[in-house]
Amino acid sequence: MLARLWHIFWGGPKGGNLSARDAHARQRGGVLLIDVRSPAEWQAGHAEDALHIPLGDLTRNLDLLPKDGEIIAMCQSGLRSGIAAMILRSRGFERVFNLNGGFMAWYGEGLPIETDGRSRLRRVRGGSMASR
């Protein structure tokens, strides 16, 4: 049981924390980056090609996520995305990473960002918009 809790909270061998640069490299290689920030935070600017699912809507939208692929969770600073990663691991998603430092780290590294005007939006369960 202790090993299971360790895996859920800290990622075990198939998850954990990533730097912004490592997350970007994995994203360019096809890994899904999800942004769990609020719609207002998302609209102000977000990582290019990220999928927006606010944290409060995450459990209602698990079917949008690849159960067998890698997922990187991102928020503003890394706290909410850490919670999102724990939720996903507890729901059977094996390869989930948290972007350490969140959008602030991404932006600070000068990695590609876009504003909501360039996003493709789709409605997700819960009333919010999932964007990609």
75 counts as catalytic? yes
Angle at 18 between CA 12 and CA 22, to 5 degrees: 130
pLDDT confidence bin for 130, thresholds 50/70/90? low
| Side-chain-facing half-sphere of 117: CA atoms under 13 Å | 0
Residue 114: band (very low, low, confident or very high) from pLDDT cuts 50, 70, 90: very high
pTM listed for this prediction: 0.80
pLDDT digits (tens, 9 = 90+) for 16-54: 999 999 999 999 999 999 999 999 999 999 999 999 999
With the CA atoms of 105, 42, 33 and 47 taken in that order, what torsion angle do they form, in degrees rounded to the nearest 10?
-50
Catalytic residue among 58, 75, 87, 130: 75
Contact 120, 48 (CB under 8 A): no
For residues 42 and 35, the answer to whether their CB atoms sit within 8 Å is yes
pLDDT, position 15: 74
Phi and psi torsions of 50, nearest 5°:
-80, 160
